[in-house]
Each structure stands twice: as C-alpha cells, then as structure tokens.
Amino acid sequence: MQHHCPLLHLKTVVATSIINMSSSSSSPSSSSFTFQPSTIKLTKQDKINFYNDGFLIIKNCIDKTLTTNARRAINMNLFNAGQHLKFNNAVTGNGSPLLGNDGGGNGAWQKDLNTSPILLNLYEQCNPIVEQLTGNKTIGGRKFAQIALRFPAEPHDNKPDNDWNIPDVQIPHNAWTPHLDGLYNGGSNGVKLGVVNTFTCLVGISLSDQKSGLNGNLGVLKGSHKINELCFQEQLKLGGPLGPGGPNWPLKDNVSNGFIHYPPSLQKYYPKHEAKASFNRQFDLNPKPTIVRLNEGDIVIAHFSTLHAATRNLSSDVRYQLYFRPVCENAVKRRRTKNKDIMSKNLIDIWCDWDGMKEIVVDNYKEEEERRSNDDDVSSSKL
C-alpha cells in the first residue's frame, strides 16, 4: 500500500531549496585521494523543501582542492586523447567519438577516469548528506562518475542534435528537453523498450561556476516528481507498461518523429509556465524549468522522478560537472527479486525507499488531505 498522498494540487513553496554551508566545508586536503566526509546536517525544513520541490541545492559542500584536481584530471585526459586523435587525423567536437553525445558524457577519452578516486572521492565527501535523506546506506552508483561537459554552443546552430529531433534553437527555455534517466530513448542509452532502470537520486557536483544561468546549467521541473508518480500510477491501473510507449504516453511525436520523454498529461499542471515552441509538434508546450545556478563546490540532489535536463551553453567557457546516481540499500533489496512489480515500486510510490523522509511524508500527507478537503468544500458551496 502506498503510504502517502499523491499530488492533488501543486503547492507554492516560499522557502528556498538552497542551503549555504560555507562554514561547514572541510578544510583543503593535501592530496586528491584524501578527503573528510561532510558533517553538514540537514534540517527538517531542508527535507520539506526536498519533498515539495524534488531537488535540493547545497552550497560550498565540496572541498575546492578536490574540485580543482578533478577538473585538472579531466583536462589532462582531454588533451592526451586529442593528441592521439590529432595524429590519426580525427576530428573532435560535440557528438564525436572523442567527446560523446553531450560533449563529455560517454566519450572514449574518459578511459578509466570515471572510476578514479580523483572523481569518486567528491561523491564520498557528500554521501553523508545523501544518506540523511535516504535514511539507509547508498550502495550502487557510487563507483562511477558521469563526466558531463557542456561546451559553448553555436547560437544559431539549426541542426537537430537531440532525441526530440528538433534543432536546439527552436526549443523553449534555452533548449531544455526534460526527461527521466533510465527510460527508453531509442536505444542510445542501452535501455530496452518497456524497461525502466531506476535509481534513488541524481547527485550533481559542480566543478565550475554556473552563476549566469547561461553556462549549460541543469534545469529541473519543480514538483514534477509527484506528478510523474500520478502518471505512473495511472499507467499501472490501465495495465501498463510503465514509461514511454505505455498508456497515455506515446513513444514518439507523430509530427516531428522525436521521442517523448515525459507524460504529455504533465503539462496541464504547469499552465502558467508553458512556452509555445516555434516548431510543428504534437506536444509543443514545454514547461518552464528552475535553472540550477551552482558555483564550484556546490551540489544538487534531485529525486529520481524529477524531470531534468541540461540547457545550452551560451557562455565562453566549458561547464564542468559530475553526476552520480546512487542506489540505496532498500532499492537494492527490491532489485534482487524477480517480481517486476516490486522492482518498479518506486515509480508508483516515490518515497518507498526513503526511510529518512518518512516523517516528512506522513506530515505532508495529512496537510495535502486537508487542503483537498477544503477545496472540495469551496467547490460544493458554489453549486
């Protein structure tokens, strides 16, 4: 049974989802292989913000010595790979075998850097914060760092280079293409149709300043984790499968032939923030994201079910970021079963693995029930 109330109405949250912990940062370490685990303590309000928004930003979390060494290692690998390709007359650029589809996500240049302590120790420093939210140990996802570089984009580039099959310059909100990780996208991510590879949360660690909002910043859709839960619940009621290609979630747009990475019904929850796209597309209203503005050493934690995507980098500098996708112990136990319903339980009950959020979930369940009751009374009085 589900132990919390699905979203009935989006709640306006005044409190910010940003924590400034400059005084709590660990002192610089003398080696890139040594670090002090974070001693930052989350407050109840922090958890309430995470519950409502689906993400949480923590400022000044990572030792600058670690971020500097990580950025240096990345640049060295890029240089070494570039020299190798230069002698082989290879051409480098976004989407090339050297850099990968996003200019750094899956490129061959990374070699063993993704699993190097130089990068992994950055996550280990902030893992104690993540486990305050999960309430149980994170096991999977800690031993691989996605190196996400966003190179400056050509402002007027009109080539379709995303799963939507539409030029970035035509996509609203600086080419923000919201999605959930682990869903089928045509095969480039290795996920099969009808399969959802879930994890617990997305942890982004900034290795460069992203204050302007035009640095290829991550964008997140506030509250979308709750709405996605409703959509998955509805798909289950209709017999599944869950995700794209299932009930009420077309696999592709019938005009652009691009993939649809979030349920079209989600748009009705954000009527004041939709933007009409400049292209001919069946689902052409794109919700407006919250732009995550990080400085070097800041982190962002996003719930698995929170829609997110990077935006175009219109600055003059490369955006350096690491992503980790930790899986908590509760989820690992579910994955060991052969029952697909149990494996995908966190899609229809988004807090089922989060022991550290139980008190907040219960309290907000009561509050949302009361708000629904009050709304029903107001509606009845108008009849």
pLDDT tens across 254-300, in order?
766 778 888 888 878 876 555 555 454 545 557 889 999 999 999 99
Amino acid residing at 70? A
Give the C-alpha separation, 339 to 299, whole Å. 35
Note whether 24 and 262 are within 8 A (CB): no
Whole-number pLDDT of residue 262: 84
Read off the pTM: 0.84
CA distances from 17 to 46, 236, 247, 354, 356 (A): 7, 31, 33, 18, 17
Candidate ranges 13-17, 340-344, 352-356; pick with highest mean pLDDT: 352-356
Average pLDDT over residues 208-221: 95
Q: How many CB atoms lie within 10 A of CB 143?
A: 12
How far separated are the first and last CA of the chain, in Å rounded? Answer: 34
CA–CA distance, 144 with 106 (Å, rounded to integer): 12
- Mean pLDDT of the region 145-171: 79
What is the tens place of the pLDDT at every residue in 34-51?
678 899 999 999 999 999
Say if CB 262 and CB 179 are below 8 A apart: yes
pLDDT at residue 160 greater than cutoff 70: no
In the chain, where are the structural domains located? 18-364
- What is the distance between the alpha carbons of residues 322 and 181, in angstroms, rounded to a whole number? 15
CATH code for the structural domain at 18-364: 2.60.120
pLDDT of residue 108: 60
pLDDT of residue 13: 34
pLDDT at 324 over 90: yes
